Structure formats: C-alpha cells, structure tokens
C-alpha cells in the first residue's frame, strides 16, 4: 500500500468518525456520549477510534474544526457567485438562518461546546476561531460595500460583531423556544433591518 493510499484511508476513516460524532453529540450532548456510542454509529471498534484520535477531547476538537471548515466552505462557494456586496451579505445571513432547517443538530452541538470555554483552553481557542471567521467574513463584505459606495461609512469590525450578535441571538432564542415567534417572519425582518442599517439610502 502506498503512502498516498494510506493517507486517503486515514482521511476517509476520520471523516466517517467526524460524521458519526456529529450525529451522536447532536443527539446525546457533549457530556452524555461515549466513544462506544460513536464507534457503534460509525460501525467501527473503539480501538480503531483511539487509533485515529487520542481521546474524546481530540475527537471533539476535530469535529468543531470540521464544522467550521464545512460551513465556511459552503458559504464561500455561494458568496463567490455574487458580485454585489448587498447580495453577499444576504447570502451570509440566509445561510446562517437556514442552519436551523438544514443542520438541525448544529446549534445543539455548538451550544454544548460553548459550555467548555471556561474549562478547556483548546476548546476555547476553537470557539474563538469559529466566531472570528464569521466576523471576518462579514467585515470583508462590509468593507467591499463601503469601498464601492454601496454601504455607508462605518467601523466594519464593530458592525460585523453586531451583525453576528443579532443573527446568533435570534437563532439561539429560536433553538431554546421555537414557539416564541415566527422564525420565517423574524429572520426576514432582521435581514431587512440589517440591510437598511448599512446601505446608503
């Protein structure tokens, strides 16, 4: 077996385990799952899991990084097709709001990971990188809009943080209590509000 084929098999196994971990952690939560649960979901032995990941923490960190990479990859592919910064901003917001329907377990997993930020430095860094990547993406869109004369002059770093806070806040409220408001109506209104706040009238 060549080194390349070994590497391909390792990547395939790690991806299988990541998908299994995503499903298991989404169902059972950060604290209540075991390596055996993931092994059963992936159709592998617990020994094989320990071959690819030293421990539970390493597997979870890998899961968080993969979630980030996949989300940003999908987002960047969609945004790259748009020319207008307003369209790019709307794509970003719509994809964030669509997570509720397209990736039901995503927020349950992320909320569980947030509980670790004061206890686990590596998990904290992973979460820091996750939020930074969101803010950077929005700041880049806003900066382009300002440069093109489409958006008002603004502190793009501050405004990107506020936009992410508004989006995440609405998502979290809906995840916790999906009867509190009409999700479709509120997401539409928030998108209009954000667009109005940054666009030149």
Quickly list DSSP for 77-92.
HHHTT--SHHHHHHHH
pLDDT given for residue 2 in this prediction: 65
Using the Cα atoms of residue 129, residue 102, residue 49 and residue 28 in order, give the sign of their dihedral: positive
Within this chain, do residues 27 and 114 fall inside the same structural domain, yes or no? no
Within this chain, do residues 36 and 108 fall inside the same structural domain, yes or no? no
Domain count, the chain: 2
- Does the predicted model carry a pTM greater than 0.75? yes
pLDDT in tens for each of the 201 residues of the chain?
Answer: 566 676 777 778 888 888 888 888 778 776 778 888 888 888 888 888 888 888 777 887 887 778 777 777 888 888 888 999 999 999 999 999 998 887 777 777 777 778 777 887 887 888 888 889 899 999 999 999 999 999 999 999 999 999 999 999 999 899 889 899 999 999 999 999 999 999 997
Domain final position from 53, 74, 96 = 53
pLDDT given for residue 67 in this prediction: 75
Within this chain, do residues 46 and 65 fall inside the same structural domain, yes or no? no
Using the Cα atoms of residue 60, residue 66, residue 67 and residue 69 in order, give the sign of their dihedral: positive
Within this chain, do residues 42 and 68 fall inside the same structural domain, yes or no? no
Which pair of tokens denotes residue 137?
């993406």
Domain final position from 9, 25, 53 = 53
pLDDT given for residue 200 in this prediction: 92
Backbone φ/ψ region at 149: left (φ over 0), alpha (ψ -120 to 50), beta: left
Within this chain, do residues 62 and 43 fall inside the same structural domain, yes or no? no
pLDDT given for residue 4 in this prediction: 60
36: Cβ contacts below 8 Å, ≥ 6 apart = 46
Within this chain, do residues 100 and 1 fall inside the same structural domain, yes or no? no
pLDDT given for residue 188 in this prediction: 97
Within this chain, do residues 169 and 85 fall inside the same structural domain, yes or no? yes
pLDDT given for residue 182 in this prediction: 96
Within this chain, do residues 128 and 45 fall inside the same structural domain, yes or no? no
Which pair of tokens denotes residue 107?
């927020």
Within this chain, do residues 43 and 109 fall inside the same structural domain, yes or no? no
| CATH number of 4's domain | 1.10.10.60
Within this chain, do residues 92 and 188 fall inside the same structural domain, yes or no? yes
pLDDT given for residue 3 in this prediction: 60
pLDDT given for residue 21 in this prediction: 82
Distance separating alpha carbons of residues 170 and 167, to the nearest angstrom: 5
Which pair of tokens denotes residue 168?
């995440």
DSSP state of 55: S
Q: Which domain holds residue 28?
A: 1-53
Within this chain, do residues 83 and 181 fall inside the same structural domain, yes or no? yes
Within this chain, do residues 100 and 180 fall inside the same structural domain, yes or no? yes
């Amino acid at each position: 077996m060549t080194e390349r084929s070994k590497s391909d098999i390792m990547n395939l196994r790690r991806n299988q385990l990541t998908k299994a971990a995503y499903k298991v952690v989404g169902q059972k939560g950060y604290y209540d799952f075991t390596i055996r649960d993931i092994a059963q979901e992936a159709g592998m032995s617990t020994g094989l899991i320990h071959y690819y990941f030293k421990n539970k923490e390493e597997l979870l960190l890998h899961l968080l990084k993969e979630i980030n990479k996949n989300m940003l990859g999908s987002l960047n592919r969609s945004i790259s097709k748009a020319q207008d910064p307003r369209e790019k901003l709307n794509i970003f917001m719509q994809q964030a709001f669509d997570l509720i329907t397209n990736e039901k377990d995503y927020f349950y997993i992320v909320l569980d990971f947030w509980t670790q930020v004061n206890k686990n430095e590596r998990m904290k860094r992973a979460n820091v990188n996750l939020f930074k990547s969101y803010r950077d993406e929005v700041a880049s869109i806003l900066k382009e809009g300002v440069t093109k004369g489409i958006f008002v002059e603004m502190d793009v770093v501050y405004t990107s943080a506020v936009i992410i806070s508004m989006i995440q806040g609405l998502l979290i409220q809906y995840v916790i209590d999906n009867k509190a408001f009409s999700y479709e109506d509120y997401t539409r209104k928030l998108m209009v509000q954000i667009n109005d706040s940054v666009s030149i009238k």
